[in-house]
Amino acid sequence: MSLTIMRRIKFCAGHRLFGHGGKCEHFHGHNYVCDFFVSSDTQDAVGRVIDFSDLKTRCKGWLDEHWDHSFLICQDDHNAINALKMVTPSRMFILPYNPTAENMAKYLLEEACPVILAGSGAQATRVRIWETDESYAEASVDPQSGTISSIYQEAISGD
């Protein structure tokens, strides 16, 4: 049996989608909501997967340090990287791929969460990034293989 808890962390960041061809290729920002789902087969002596306050400190700490009030930029977007380097002060976080909500969820699950949860005994199994109130993308770990198996976006409302 696996037990799962979720902690929501809000942050804001700028980005643009490299080569998008539409309005999202312009610099703009979002008030992101990030849901971290953390699982464990075991519970601590108190009965927890992980202390919620510890989980908050870990997740919020990483986001505050790396993504909050930063521009998330694709490593191939040299034009944006050069532009942001001219602005002082500015914060930039280079991603190995376009900063879509799907890729942000994937990056957090694959790259950030192992660091965030190191030594806690818990493992991140799903990360959901809400880009608007109506839509999110998520990355999740396949419980059988342990690999990240699905990334999808779901419209909550009809628009």
Determine the length of the chain. Answer: 159
Please report which helix (H) or strand (E) contains residue 75, including its range: none
27 and 80 Cβ atoms separated by less than 8 Å? yes
5 Cβ contact list (under 8 Å, min separation 6) = 37, 38, 39, 48, 49, 50, 52, 55
Residues 6+ apart with CB under 8 A from 140: 37, 109, 125, 126, 127, 148, 149, 150, 151
Of 132, 130, 144, 152, nearest to 6 by C-alpha is 130
Residues acting as catalytic residues: 24, 69, 131
